[in-house]
Amino acid sequence: DHARTSDVVAAVDDAVAHLGGLDAAFLNAGVDGEARPAAKLSLAHFRHVLEVNVLGTFAVAQAALRHLSRPGTLLLNASVNALKPEPGFLDYNASKAAVVSMAKSLALELSHEQITVIALCPGYFPTRMTQPYFEDTDTREEILSRIPAGRFGELAEIARTVDFLLSPGARFMHGGVVTLDGGTHL
C-alpha cells in the first residue's frame, strides 16, 4: 500500500535484498479521481488520491534513494492529465501535476549525484484503472475523440518506453517530462 510509509520502506528493502541492489526504479503509484465536478468532490477522496499518488510516490522515491546505485534512475509515473487537465478530475489532475513537479525538483537535487529523475506522462492504456472507461462505449468514444492518434496506447509501447527511460541511454534526461499519449497533451 503506497499510502503506508512503513509498507513502502519494507517492500523496497525486501526487493533490494532479493535482487542484490537497485540500479533504477519505476515509481508507479496511482488511484483514479472521483469523476465529478469540483463542487461535488469528496474531500476524503481527494485526500486519498493525494496520499497515494503524491505521498506514496515520494515515500517510494525516498526509500529507493537509500539503495540506488550511482549512476541510477528514478522514473516517476505521472499522467497526461498533469499537462492537460481533464474536466471532472481535479483530484487526479492535481496529484499527477504534483508528481511532475516532484520529478523536476528531485532532478535538481540529485543530478549532481548521477541520479537521473524523469516523469512519464502516459495517456490512456488498457489497465485495471482505465477498464471502466474502456468498457463503457460512450466514454470510450469520447476519450478516443480527444486522442489525435485516434487510438489508445498499447501495453507493449509503454513497456518499451519504460525500458528505455530506465536504461543508461536516458541518463542525460535529468528532469525530463516524457509524454506517451498519442498527442493528447496537444
pLDDT digits (tens, 9 = 90+) for 48-91: 999 999 999 999 999 999 999 999 999 999 999 999 999 999 99
Write the DSSP assignment of 87-143 as a string of letters: TT-HHHHHHHHHHHHHHHHHHHHHGGGTEEEEEEEE-----TTTHHHHHSHHHHHHH
Q: Is the Cβ–Cβ distance between 117 and 107 less than 8 Å?
A: yes
pLDDT digits (tens, 9 = 90+) for 80-137: 999 999 999 999 999 999 999 999 999 999 999 999 999 999 999 988 888 888 899 9
Domain residue ranges in the chain: 5-180
With cell 519494507, the residue in question is: 10
In this prediction the pTM is: 0.94
Please give the C-alpha separations between residue 53 and each of 1, 102, 142, 153, 179, in angstroms, as whole numbers: 11, 11, 25, 21, 18
Output the nine-digit C-alpha cell for 174: 535529468
Torsion-angle region of 183 (φ positive above 0: left; ψ -120 to 50: alpha; else: beta): left
With cell 496511482, the residue in question is: 30
- pLDDT given at position 3: 60
> Could you give the CA distance from residue 50 to residue 69 in angstroms, rounded to a whole number?
29
From 58, 92, 124, 152, active-site residue = 92
Domain 5-180 in CATH 3.30.379.10? The answer is: no
Report the candidate in 49, 45, 47, 62 with the shortest Cα–Cα distance to residue 6: 62
Annotated catalytic, 92?
yes
